[in-house]
Amino acid sequence: MQLSPSRLLDDLFAPPPVAARIDWLTAQPFAHRGLHGAHIVENCRAAFEAAVAEGHGVELDVQASRDGEAIVFHDYDLKRLTGVEGRVRDRSAAELQRIALAGAGETIPTLIDVVHLVDSRAPMLIEVKAPTRHVAALCASVLRAVRDYPGYMAVMSFNPEVGRWFWRNGRGITRGLVVTERKRRRVHGGFERRLSLWRARPHFLAYDVQDLPSAFAREQRRRGLPVLSWTVRGARQRETAQAEADQIIYEER
């Protein structure tokens, strides 16, 4: 069977990984920002411990402090989760580590803190939040934190420059591309997704469950890229993910 030009280019610029290298990705669900809920705050140590206790993987977010350190925190603004005004990127890592997470009884962790906490007891997905092309400082901080990590771990990002950086500088690190098709469903969006794929050279995709089924996700699955689906909530989305993805990144309602 003759392959389409897009398939040939996908195989050239984003070749599928050896299955044995990434089979751990589909072995268990991943708790989105840790296993959090009414009494446990997202992206805190207790949430990660709860995911480990459940036998599930840990998904977490990192972004850069003012001095370029990888800080485990989702929002760019501190207000929602701490009550403190200001942005994460405007404070040093030392300052951020002294800020309490509201209702958590603990402070904002660094990636190094979480790596030591999990300590290979569960696989980790680290979403690197980098809104611009200037990703080197944050990616280097992530690499320092995980370079010698003996457990299963992957980095992923919406930003293809993150995957590109790790392809060049951290070849042993499993890479993922996070994808949403919201507001990007037309021809231009499809072209953008393909360019991001080629740029990031991912080993897997993390796909918005609200976009499934997706022709692009199905095409990449057929090529051998596992598809993890986020953020899966409730029975209906679990059914969709079961049919269209290889594993879930979930939250409990």
Tell me, yes or no, if the pTM score tops 0.85.
Answer: yes
pLDDT of residue 40: 95
To the query of whether residue 56 is one of the catalytic residues in this protein, the response is no
- Marked catalytic residue, from 32, 36, 56, 203: 32
pLDDT of residue 1: 56
Place of tokens 């089924």: 213
Measured CA angle at 29 (ends 227, 35), to 5 deg: 130
pLDDT of residue 198: 98
- Marked catalytic residue, from 36, 39, 56, 74: 74
pLDDT of residue 159: 98
Question: Hey, what are 162's tokens?
Answer: 């993150």
CB 94 within 8 A of CB 84: no
To the query of whether residue 74 is one of the catalytic residues in this protein, the response is yes
Read off the pLDDT of residues 97-125 as tens digits, 9 standing for 90 and up. 999 999 889 999 999 999 999 999 999 99
Mean pLDDT, contiguous 10-residue spans, the chain (253 residues): 82 95 97 93 98 98 97 98 98 98 95 98 98 96 96 98 98 96 73 96 98 97 97 98 98 83
Domains of the chain (ranges plus CATH)?
1-27+157-253 (3.20.20.190)
pLDDT of residue 186: 61
Question: Hey, what are 32's tokens?
Answer: 């989105």
pLDDT of residue 171: 84
Which residue type occupies 102? Answer: A
